[in-house]
């Protein structure tokens, strides 16, 4: 089957490799432009290495008007199916509807729960114990199209967003996409309409959104930290320094004020939450400089009894 692959990053490259292994013909690869002087995008490099048409539009459309040159390059590849793997650009409906078999896309949640681009963050922040991947038929909504295939996986009690993606959602996504494309090729791919009654949509989990509210209970704060680890990074202020907290686990220490540092040792920093329960973080970071929590605390004269500041009142 002739496939146009739209995506980027290691996940896009892994899908590319798997579809080629499955015997499909990748007729064109479409990725965002690479940063000048930066590392090559893995999917773009895979296309170059294979001598496959590579198009890297800054955008497919502007203010609703498609870039005719880009779309013409796409249409010239004459795909039977579009496969979208880690797409961050807005793709015009004209492109989505162009192939005879239309367009399918990967999403890292069990739709219709956690629509939106920060699905993995929100699943962990909200305390979900299960998540998964969905391959769906793309329409003009945000993750609203009919479901083709879904597979589930667990979220461990201390799992971070990186761990869930790396250990489960990445490999499971590649495998599920392979299976979905085979179903499309065989003419056996279903289109299950999403149940809007079960729908949740959450906005992007990025920027400064992840400031910790220590007045919340320890399990909520624990989920918040690991659901932000490492991007965008849950943060707080102590000793006048803004720090990112990484590697959260629950602690059996009880008692103390919300945000109070109860202990610092080689296992990390124990911090009290609003319910009197506590958690432990192993690593603190300022910018990209990460250090074991004990080392950072020693260097900044932070001792037991110090208090992380609450967020400002709204």
How far apart CA 270 and CA 261 sit, in angstroms, is 6
Contacts of residue 157, Cβ cutoff 8 Å, sequence gap at least 6: 129, 250
Cβ contacts of 253 within 8 Å, gap of 6 or more: 262, 263, 270, 272, 278
SS3 of the chain: helix, strand, coil, percent, to 5: 25, 30, 45
Sequence ranges of the domains in the chain: 2-198, 218-299
| DSSP secondary structure of 36-55 | TTSPPPHHHHHHHHHT--EE
Q: How far apart are CA 25 and CA 298, in angstroms?
A: 57
pLDDT at 22: 98
pTM value is: 0.94
157-206: per-residue pLDDT in tens?
999 999 999 999 999 999 999 999 999 999 999 999 999 999 999 999 99
Residue 173, C-beta contacts closer than 8 angstroms, at least 6 positions apart: 11, 15, 85, 106, 108, 133
Specify the DSSP element, H or E, that contains 165: none
The C-alpha atoms of residue 100 and residue 79 are separated, in whole angstroms, by: 8
Let me know if 213 is exposed, middle or buried by CB neighbors in 10 A (0-12, 13-18, 19+): middle
Most distant pair of Cα atoms in the chain: their distance? 67
Read off φ and ψ for residue 110, nearest 5 degrees. -90, 90
Distance separating alpha carbons of residues 177 and 183, to the nearest angstrom: 10
Q: What is the pLDDT of residue 313?
A: 79
Q: What are the tens digits of pLDDT across the range 115-166? A: 999 999 999 999 999 999 999 999 989 999 999 999 999 999 999 999 999 9
- The reply to whether CATH 3.10.25.10 applies to domain 218-299 is yes
CATH of span 2-198? 3.40.50.170
How is residue 196 annotated by DSSP?
G
Other beta carbons less than 10 A from residue 274's beta carbon? 17
Pair type for strands 147-154 and 130-137: antiparallel
Backbone angles phi and psi of 47, in degrees to 5: -65, -45
Q: Which of the residues in the chain have pLDDT under 50?
A: none
């Amino acid at each position: 089957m002739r496939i146009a692959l739209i995506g980027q990053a290691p996940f896009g490259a892994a899908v590319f490799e798997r579809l080629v292994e499955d015997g499909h013909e990748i007729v064109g690869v479409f990725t965002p432009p690479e940063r000048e002087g930066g590392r090559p995008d893995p999917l773009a490099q895979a296309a170059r290495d294979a001598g496959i048409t590579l198009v890297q539009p800054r955008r497919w459309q502007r203010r609703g008007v498609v870039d005719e040159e880009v779309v013409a390059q796409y249409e010239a590849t004459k795909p039977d199916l579009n496969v979208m793997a880690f797409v961050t650009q807005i793709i015009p409906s004209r492109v989505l509807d162009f192939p005879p078999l239309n367009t399918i896309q990967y999403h890292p949640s069990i739709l219709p729960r956690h629509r939106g681009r920060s699905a993995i963050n929100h699943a962990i922040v909200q305390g979900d114990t299960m998540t998964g991947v969905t391959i769906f038929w793309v329409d003009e909504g945000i993750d609203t199209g009919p479901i083709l295939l879904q597979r589930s996986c667990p979220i461990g009690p201390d799992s971070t967003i990186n761990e869930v993606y790396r250990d489960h959602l990445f490999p499971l996504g590649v495998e599920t996409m392979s299976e979905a494309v085979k179903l499309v090729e065989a003419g056996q791919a279903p289109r299950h309409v999403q149940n809007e009654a079960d729908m949740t949509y959450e906005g992007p989990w990025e920027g400064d959104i992840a400031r910790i509210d220590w007045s919340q209970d320890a399990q909520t704060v624990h989920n918040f930290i690991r659901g932000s680890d490492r991007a965008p990074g849950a943060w707080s202020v102590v000793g006048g320094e803004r720090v990112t907290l990484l590697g959260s686990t629950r602690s059996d220490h009880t008692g103390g004020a919300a945000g109070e540092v109860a202990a610092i040792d080689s296992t990390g920093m124990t911090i009290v939450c609003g319910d009197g329960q506590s958690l432990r973080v192993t690593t603190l970071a300022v910018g990209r400089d990460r250090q074991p929590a004990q080392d950072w605390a020693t260097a900044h004269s932070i001792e037991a009894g110090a208090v992380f500041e609450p967020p400002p009142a709204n």
